[in-house]
Amino acid sequence: MADPKPANPEWAAQRRLEDLFAKIAEKYGDLTGRFEVKYRPDTTFDQIGGLKAAKATLRGFATALTAPEVYRQWGITPPKGVLLYGPPGTGKSLLARALASVSEATFYHLKLLNLTSKFGPTAGDLLQEILAIAVQEPRTLIFLDEADALSLEHLLPPPQAREASARLIAVLAEKLDGIEDFSRVFVVAATSRTDAIDPSLVAPGRLDRLIEVPLPDPQGQQEIFLLNKAQAEKAAARRLFAELDFRSLLPPMGGMSGAEIQEVIRRALETKAHRAGAGEQAGLVSTQDLLQEIDGYRRIKEVVEKIRYGQYL
């Protein structure tokens, strides 16, 4: 008996994705944490604070996925992709997911630092394979995360790294060049290290649109704070924070990224959870509580960053 027709496209896509993972795992082993596919992620542009310019520019490129023929009407071909660049934790991954979500595209997340760490210069074969399958989806967003890892600097001494990286980039560039015009495939690469990006990746006709994703200004920080606060309160289904005084909170938060703001909020809530767990009256998170967490976080920030960004590994 033939398989019953899939009830909805999401279900069908889920099955395709499972098949894809099975095939790739057979050949390359488990890729959990290195490569993820999501049928339409649920992150939206509204969940991203600050970044007005980056959001507006990136959102424009949804047309390359949803209505590429519009470019033809203007006598041009759609761009292949963009490079998001900016400090760690500023929302580059969120932006890529939001673009996939608003374009109703399948999201292929390639964590290149992990992939190249495992496969070294042969990561190109795997990339090739994934890209070949990805372009068969009706709409595909390929996210090349940590694109600086293509330099292989983390694996090999400089001369060998240069040579092996050039081969790897050549494979990738060939694939990018091979993506057909109007094919509803869009590539987003991200990096916090523009110095380690191979110029041929951003050559004309490849990822030749560059979008800066800077650290948030105070207004952006407040937006990010409120978004994260709302998220926690939604998850807890109750109020967690007292009335907050942003005039005292924002100055000591100067220079903090969105990821760091999220971390400070998490720590403040964690402190409360520990108190409540010990049977104490914890109360709502106050401005004073947050100032203390910010101060504590600042003191250990250097260590946290070194661990998080692998400089101790």
Which residues sit at the interface with ligand ATP, rule CB under 6 A?
48-51, 88-94, 190, 192, 224, 227, 258-259, 262
Nearer to Mg ion, 130 or 147 (CB): 147
Minimum CB distance to ligand ATP, residue 83 (Å)? 13
Q: How far is the CB of 2 from Mg ion (least distance, A)?
A: 42
The two tokens of residue 231 are 């998220």
User: Is the CB of 84 or the CB of 268 nearer to Mg ion?
Assistant: 84
The residue number with the shortest CB distance to ligand ATP is 258
Q: Which is nearer to ligand ATP, 50 or 68 (CB)?
A: 50
| Partner in contact with 140, chosen from Mg ion, ligand ATP, none, beta carbon below 5 to 8 Å by kind | none
Residue labelled with tokens 């992620």: 41
- Residue recorded with tokens 């939604």: 234
Pick 137 or 146: Cβ nearer ligand ATP: 146
Residue nearest to Mg ion (CB): 93
Residue 239 or residue 266: which is nearer to ligand ATP going by CB? 266
CB of 146 to Mg ion, least distance (A): 7
Phi-psi category of 191—alpha, beta or left, where left has phi over 0 and alpha has psi -120 to 50? beta
192 binds Mg ion (CB under 5 A): no
By beta-carbon proximity to ligand ATP, the closer residue of 164 and 223 is: 223
Q: Measured from the CB of residue 209, what is the shortest distance to ligand ATP in angstroms?
A: 17
Of 92 and 139, CB closest to ligand ATP: 92
Chosen from ligand ATP, Mg ion, none, partner binding at 111 (C-beta under 5 to 8 Å by type):
none
Selection from ligand ATP, Mg ion, none that 101 binds (CB < 5 to 8 A by kind) is none
CB of 274 to ligand ATP, least distance (A): 22
The CB-of-46 to ligand ATP minimum distance in angstroms stands at 10
Q: Alpha-carbon Rg of the chain, whole angstroms?
A: 22
Q: Verify binding: residue 93, Mg ion, rule CB under 5 A.
A: yes
Applying CB under 5 A, the span of 25-33, 45-53, 90-98, 209-217 interacting with Mg ion comes to 90-98
Q: What is the spatial distance between Cα 222 and Cα 216, in angstroms, rounded to a whole number?
A: 9
Of ligand ATP, Mg ion, none, which one does residue 244 interact with (CB within 5 to 8 Å by kind)? none
Instruction: Look at residue 124 and give the partner it binds from ligand ATP, Mg ion, none, a contact being a CB closer than 5 to 8 Å depending on partner kind.
Output: none
Other beta carbons within 10 Å of 13: 18
Q: How far is CA 49 from each of CA 34, 213, 215, rounded to the nearest angstrom?
A: 27, 12, 11
Residues that bind Mg ion (CB under 5 A): 93
